[in-house]
Every structure is written in C-alpha cells, then in structure tokens.
Copies of this chain bind each other. A is one copy, B any other.
Amino acid sequence: MTSTVEERLRFTGLQDKVMSADAAAALINNGDTLGLSGFTRAGDAKFVPHALVERAKGLEDFKVDVYTGASLGFDTDALMSDAGIVRKRLPFQVDRTMRGHINKGDVGFIDQHLSVTSEYLRQGAMKIDVAIIEATAITEDGYLIPTSSVGNSPIYVESADKVIIELNVAAPAELEGLHDIYVPEKQGERGPIPIMHANDRVGAKGIKLDMNKVVAIVVTEQEDSPSNIVPPDAETQQMANHLLDFFRKEIKEGRLTNTLAPLQSGIGSVANAVLAGMVDSEFEELEVYSEVLQDAVFELIDAGKVKSASCCSFTLSREKMDAVLPRIKEYADKLVLRPQDISNSPEVIRRLGLICMNTALEFDIYGNVNSTHVSGSKMMNGIGGSGDFARAGRLSIFVTKSVAKDGKISSIVPMVSHVDHTEHDVDVVVTEQGIADLRGLTPRERAALIIENCAHPMYKEALRNYFEEAKATVGGQTPHMLTKAFSFHNNLAEHGTMLP
C-alpha cells in the first residue's frame, strides 16, 4: 500500500522541510501546548511525540500540554506520562499508565466534551503552539489530507504557530477523498452547519495549510494500532438483544420505521454487538452518524444494510484492517470522515434525531449516569462525546452489565458517585437483566422500573430497601438519604463487596 514520498508530498516548496522526528521534536519548546491528531487510536501523530520523550530525557523539567482529538495509540500516552513531560492533557484518554499518573495528580487532566475543545480555541480561551498532525498526503493545492481520523486537527492547525506533519506513507493513499473538512467560523459569525444526511459533503477535501506555519515534515511508515475490541460474551449479547427488541417495539408503536434513525454508538463491545445484530435483521437503509466506526459498521456496509456512515475516525481490529483498508475506496460513496466538532455537533445531532448508545460505569436508581469516575474519585477514561450525544439526541441510551468483579460491584447503585449524565439526559438504560424505558416517568417511577428491570437479582432487595426507606423517611422528588446514599460504595471500600 505504501507509496513514494513524491506521490504524497505534492505541494511544491515544502520538500526542504522534510526532516527526522528527532529534528522536528527539537522545534518544540518547553511549556508549549501541543495539538496532536489522533482519535480512538486512529490517525494519531506517532513519531514526533516519541522523539519528544527521548529528547526530554536530557532536559530538566521539560513539560508540555497535550491536546488531542481523543485517545492515542502506539503507547504514546504511556510513554509521555511515564517520562513526566505532560503538564495538562485533554480532552480524553484511555491509557492505563496515563490514568495512573492522572489519578496520582502528576498529570493534570481536563475531561471535556469532545465537541467543545474547538470552541475554546476559536474563542481564544485556549491556544495551540505546535500542531502535530498525521497526513496521508499534502496536495498540490495546499491541503493536508488526514489519515484515519480527523479529530481536532483542523482547529489545531488553525490555532497553532507551528505545524509539524507526520506524512505516513503506510496510510492507504485511497483515504484521500473520504474526508469532509467543514470548519465553522467564530461563534456569532457562523451560519448553520448544512448537514441534513449522514453522508452530506459540505466542506473541503482536507485541511487548508498556511505554508508559513509548516516547520517540519516527518515521513513515517506505520499503521494505526488496531482496536482491542473483545468479542461479545453472553451478557453483551443479551444487552444487544434487549436493544434490538426495544427498536422493534418503537417501530410497532409507530415512532420509528425499520430504517430507524441515524445511529451513534460509543466505542465498546455492546455497541458493536448491537450493530452486528442488525446484519441479519429486518433493519435496512441504515444511517450511522457517530464519532468512531468499529468493525460492525463495515460488516453492515458489506451486508448492504447501510446507506451512509459519518464518523470522526475508524478504529478496526487487526483482522478488519487487513480486510477493509485495501479496498477502502469501495466505501467512499457511503463513508465520510469529519472533524469532531461536526461529528459531535449538538446542532446536527438534534436535527438528525440520533439514536445514541453509550456505556455507563454505573447508573443510579433515578437514572443518573457515571461514565468516568471509579468510586467518585478515580478517572477511568473520560466523558468523551457521550455528553454531546446524550443531551442532543432523539433517544439517549446507556448500557452496562448489571454487576462487575464477580458480583462484588453492582452497576446500579442508590446514588452514583459521580454524575456525567443527569436524569434529564437519559431516556433508556440497559443491562443484561433487561431494559428500562424512562421516558415520561417521574424519578420515583424510574426507580421502581430500574430496580425491577435492570438490577442484578442479588442487589434488588438492597436497592428496594434503600428506595422504600428514602421515600418513607425523607420523601421529596428524588428521595435520598444522604447518610446512606453511598452505602454500596462504602461497603465495597470496607468489605470488598457492595453487598450489604
């Protein structure tokens, strides 16, 4: 798949900027804010950050702020955080090592809705010094063609004083033509985002470069880190089935047709299993409007079930990469890659009326969702785009297994230890036990339904007891006993299990 540098670097006058990753890393100053390409391991800047880690080993107190699209692959977050060079990191990460540093307080992490980073930059409330962006090509007319993700790259390039490009000759040349780079003006000066269907093309083929900003081009040859999605287990499949049954019920009641509504799904095996479950189904002419496309979307496209699919990145398993990438051109009429403020735009999400499926860490009996913090304090990954979608979508669905750690942890608790999605933004919750449709229900009605339909049998009685005692002793719109609201979590901390 590899092409020559000449085929990729087509703009005249940049050839003298080609240099090694080490030389490019030397252009980064202590204290700089870096804007990196990369979203769910896809299309990430791979070599200059690693070279920076090496360079920093000889320097004292070298620190940078690292902004990205979302998560990086290639162990970059692990290496950077272990090297101690990251002062602040935003808006999302999933790295186990970096997570450790964040929770120790070594790395400052700002957990941000994925659609808003660009707005802070556009307003001047944040600023990028150096953008480091992976590219498929630089065109003769001066566009940077991203690779397998777009992320925040357009705004990082716009905001940056210096741009370093990782020209990845291992990225399929045929990615060129898949992107649609629509960049809103400043707030107050912009018009509507004119997207009416998932595959509407409304922008440019790539990111327009100001050549005066380009300080380095590093030629690389390295595929994305494959996704590590696990195949669905029995419980994952049960959750997927509950959701498919729910869609069928919505169709029966006339609220949806068998083309459903544009689908968004967070990363993870449940979302993948739901989509995989549509391959042999009555659902057809589907639209996908999501952040990230996983394996199942390509299976659905291959099965002729998908009319159009919009994303900000695609993240595939090793196997799927080998199957899809050589023939990525065949997907070009259906597939669009967008910046994350467009893939996650509340304007477009509400207009299209998305069905949004995201994963919860825990939810409470009233339908509040914790997506991020273990026991209220420790960061797992981040809110990602779930908040963009849950508030603006047509149907906001959260999924999680009812228990974790062999039943020692109940994912349904009296009160979540951290709130990412309030009850106002949660329409449906699903576990392998069942589904609770919360629309049109008061908090007290929600509690009764969630406990009966979604909680694991071994926790039902404790949850019922909490709810009944709270109603009897405190009452209110959302009955809570603040001295016992975290009793499940406190049991876990003291006795190693949430069970009373």
Chain A interface residues toward B at CB < 8 A: 88, 102-105, 108-113, 119-120, 123-126, 186-188, 190-194, 196, 253-255, 261-262, 345-347, 350-353, 368, 372-373, 375-379, 383, 387, 391-392, 394, 415, 417-425, 439-442, 444-445, 470-471, 474-480, 482-483, 485-486, 489-490, 493
Contact = CB atoms under 8 A, between A and B. Distances in A.
B417 A124 contact: no
Contacts of A415: 376
Contacts of A190: 351
Contacts of A111: 423-424, 477
A262 B377 CA distance: 36
B347 A125 contact: no
B482 A486 contact: yes
A109 B442 contact: yes
B126 A478 contact: no
Given A186-B353, A377-B475, A482-B493, 8 more contacts: A104-B475, A111-B477, A192-B194, A373-B478, A376-B485, A383-B422, A419-B419, A421-B422
Given A125-B440, A482-B375, A368 B471 contact: no
Contact of A480 (B109, B126, B351, B417): B417
Given A353-B187, A379-B476, A254 B124 contact: yes
B193 A112 contact: no
A423 B379 CA distance: 14
A480 B261 contact: no
A177 B88 CA distance: 52
> Could you say which of A109, A120, A125, A441 has the most chain B C-beta atoms within 10 Å of its C-beta?
A125
Given A108-B444, A440-B126, A352 B188 contact: yes
Contact of A424 (B113, B253, B445, B493): B113
Given A123-B255, A126-B440, A346 B480 contact: no
A477 B394 contact: no
Contacts of A254: 124
Given A123-B394, A368-B419, A478 B377 contact: yes
A350 to B, nearest CB: 6
A346 B391 contact: yes
Contacts of A418: 478, 480
A392 to B, nearest CB: 6
Contact of A346 (B105, B392, B421, B493): B392
Contacts of A392: 346
A470 B378 CA distance: 12
Given A105-B444, A391-B346, A392-B346, A125 B482 contact: no
A254 B124 CA distance: 8
A119 B444 contact: no
Given A119-B394, A347-B347, A471-B105, A478 B444 contact: no
Contact of A112 (B109, B194, B424, B444): B424
B490 A483 contact: yes
Contact of A103 (B372, B423, B477, B490): B477
B422 A420 contact: yes
A253 B125 CA distance: 9
Contacts of A470: 377
A270 to B, nearest CB: 23
Contacts of A440: 88, 110, 120, 125-126
Contact of A422 (B187, B262, B419): B419
Nearest to A126: B440
A117 to B, nearest CB: 11
A477 B109 contact: yes
Contacts of A196: 191
A350 B187 contact: yes
B477 A379 contact: yes
Contacts of A474: 377
A425 B119 CA distance: 13
Nearest to A194: B192
A108 B439 CA distance: 13
B476 A378 contact: yes
A287 to B, nearest CB: 9
A233 B478 CA distance: 32
A338 to B, nearest CB: 16
A375 B479 CA distance: 10
A439 B123 CA distance: 12
Nearest to A103: B476
A482 B475 contact: no
Nearest to A380: B477
Given A424-B112, A471-B105, A476 B373 contact: yes
